[in-house]
Structure 1
């Protein structure tokens, strides 16, 4: 192709950032920019190269920039709050007090670290498997708990008789924050990576956080002389930074749009489909997803359990496999919807089983039946059989619809345990 500048020999681009053309003119090949900005020849270009993943924005999810903006704001606010809490902790262990001993301060610090280590182990044991499936919820929980821990550290010096107990409790909270925050950050990085570039995204996230902490350090150098021996100003600034921290965290978590199903997102999309046959997009479902840890009583769903948690007798086993040729079994025991999974089950089978479990859970939640146990148990199995019939009619159109709407159905974030059960299709 020939232009005013000569014959175009080739074109090249660097993602969406730079565009170049090679021309032949008067027997010489020339290279010229065709729009875009240089990555390395401007301040903005250098900044992007240092702090954003390679190939941005094509190499990350669409919600990356908005999430990182609010994450930066919350990290800055948390850094300033942490400075106030650290000053209070140092004052509490005796820094500046001539009567305080090094041994007493060391013992207090060791007790705080020791209880924190135990808290880290126990939390990872009890909730580690929830941090992938409910990353947004536990991310926000970690930040709220972090603010509570820092508030306790600020108040601790004013209760000298309980100082050690307060800082040890705060240490436990902070250890939980470390586990939940680090694990959920990793889960969100997996979501943001679009070119198997999780390490690059994680590294650049670390660079961004380091820059924010450096800015927080500089501001803290100005704040410390002002708040020293001024508890009212200390608390006022702490509440201001905490409010900013919580608001930014809420906005950051809300900005994340995950295309994979967890229990909450699948339940939201399924209930909408059963009401009016409309498939919610990932954006719509994520905006409705609850992001606060809920303590209200609901009908829990247990996935990947052993057989005895689904059926307790030969009669119940016959009821569970009745008209069922799928590689999973459902049952309702002790107020829980339980699902056994066969070893040959696919991801689509997992999604279908979860759809049935969600349906059963929603049917049981408002139920306050006072029927005798035998009748109630029979009605439960009738509900299970009805859920199979419902999925026989609706699941395939539902699955096609969610795939067309942009959901990733090749993998899920459903909280399956590791039990796999094989059973005979006939028991007598």
Structure 2
């Protein structure tokens, strides 16, 4: 940014990182504002669109991945708008628009059944998966878009099966309502991630403006396409395939471009395994591309975090064994036969305690399901523990758990330092803990 060389500036100021201006003293002593030398028409147009469609203070007010995500999100929204129009046309044809034999009552009943099924599905899905959406926002965001495309495909095919039309559109409506829950919830989670100045409302509002503009563009394109696709099913299917492919690719790129700096179980697993292998913690920008976005069918422990005590112990002696050699604010048990781990949290446990408990789970998973020969951190200890874990009888599982506690005590302090140094957030997390909290020190308190 440059000002005229002949100007004697008294002071300068800037508006975010996009605009700079200075002040000079006029002969009468008044201060006069002068702006940097930029093509005026271009800047005024740029500033107008920036103020309308981007959050105030952009780019400092949002996360570094904001622009990448929004570009791909815009592309996917445009593609979804076009395929949605194709589905709407198919739905209207299916309920009898243009058919003299169709009745208003039949069309109304079909629409009511479709909406009613979707409402019930929305409630059920929110009940079953509502707490999971924050923890794996990327996966659920991608899941929502894939399910949305499936619902649109069903709506387009529905008129071809008139006897099953109502059932098909009800299933499609159910899918779309699930999409509404998953997409809306994950959008809120991503907005929270992008808003760096507690400006969630502004980021969300500008995202809505961008989506409205894109939908308007999709509407204009749809107006051109509708006359072409009417009574031409081959063209409808071709356009659906093209725009759905674009939609899915853009969604994948958008989600892959997100760089979350809060820990969930997938990202923590990547960090722990890399730390054990190489001795240092990956940064958020290095770890996020390795996070799986689709279901990974590999052998892992079944984990129950924040479990009630009765899932861990059934006898007082078991509770005493769980506490033996463990001064942490969590208890951990491992069921060898069911390959399940349960973690109970103390009522005073905080964020770091929960992160440590999940690190413990990941180390146990490494011992049971990984080749520890590739790890150099505590290599001899890992090999010894892996051998014992594979041979330990059921009645001596507590001894193995106690030894893993000792291993965690050695590893976690250095791992935590690496987390903080690499830029990870540790005062909050996205680990999937239930709400059960216990106090297992009551016997000690009574004896005092």
Classify the TM-score, shorter chain.
Answer: over 0.9
**What residue ranges of structure 2 are gaps of 5+ in the alignment?**
372-385
Match of 1:238 among 233, 237, 240: 240
SS at match of 1:42: helix
- Give the match for residue 351 of structure 1: 355
Distance in 1, matches of 2:196 and 2:71, equals: 19
- Give the match for residue 176 of structure 2: 174
Q: 1:329 to 1:37 in 2, by over 3 A?
A: farther
Distance in 1, matches of 2:264 and 2:149, equals: 27
Moved more, 292-301 or 145-154: 292-301
Distance in 1, matches of 2:429 and 2:198, equals: 17
- Give the match for residue 437 of structure 2: 420
- Equivalent pair of 1:18/1:35 in contact (CA under 8 Å): no
Match of 1:107 among 96, 106, 109: 109
- Equivalent pair of 1:93/1:100 in contact (CA under 8 Å): yes
Deviation at 1:295, TM superposition (A): 5.8
Q: 1:103 to 1:6 in 2, by over 3 A?
A: closer
Q: 1:275 to 1:375 in 2, by over 3 A?
A: closer
Distance in 1, matches of 2:229 and 2:166, equals: 23
Deviation at 1:301, TM superposition (A): 1.4
What whole-Å deviation, never above 9, does each CA across 1:358-416 have from its counterpart, x for those lacking one?
2223333469x9x9xx9543453233222211111111111111111111111101111
- Give the match for residue 276 of structure 1: 278
- Give the match for residue 266 of structure 1: 268
What whole-Å deviation, never above 9, does each CA across 1:243-296 have from its counterpart, x for those lacking one?
000000000000000000000001100111011202111011100000114466
Moved more, 5-14 or 194-203: 5-14
Q: Within the alignment, does 1:139 sit opposite 2:141 as a pair? A: yes
- Give the match for residue 363 of structure 1: 367
Moved more, 77-86 or 355-364: 355-364
Distance in 2, matches of 1:413 and 1:207, equals: 29
Moved more, 232-241 or 385-394: 385-394
Distance in 1, matches of 2:298 and 2:172, equals: 26
Moved more, 201-210 or 296-305: 296-305
Match of 2:411 among 356, 374, 394: 394
SS at match of 2:111: helix
Distance in 2, matches of 1:163 and 1:4, equals: 74
- Give the match for residue 191 of structure 1: 193
- Give the match for residue 18 of structure 1: 19
- Give the match for residue 411 of structure 1: 428
Q: TM-score, normalised by structure 2?
A: 0.90
Q: 1:362 to 1:35 in 2, by over 3 A?
A: farther
Distance in 1, matches of 2:281 and 2:66, equals: 24
Q: 1:218 to 1:399 in 2, by over 3 A?
A: same
Task: Within 5 Å, give how 1:12-411 maps onto structure 2.
Answer: 12-26=13-27, 27-34=29-36, 42-294=44-296, 298-333=300-335, 334-365=338-369, 376-411=393-428
Q: TM-score, normalised by structure 1?
A: 0.94
- Equivalent pair of 1:39/1:49 in contact (CA under 8 Å): no
Deviation at 1:302, TM superposition (A): 1.2
Deviation at 1:24, TM superposition (A): 2.3
SS at match of 2:334: strand
SS at match of 1:315: helix
- Equivalent pair of 1:81/1:241 in contact (CA under 8 Å): yes
Moved more, 189-198 or 377-386: 377-386
Distance in 2, matches of 1:110 and 1:294, equals: 38
SS at match of 2:20: strand
**What residue ranges of structure 1 are gaps of 5+ in the alignment?**
none
- Equivalent pair of 1:327/1:341 in contact (CA under 8 Å): yes
What whole-Å deviation, never above 9, does each CA across 1:287-318 have from its counterpart, x for those lacking one?
00001144666322111110011112223212
Distance in 2, matches of 1:44 and 1:125, equals: 45
Q: 1:244 to 1:4 in 2, by over 3 A?
A: closer
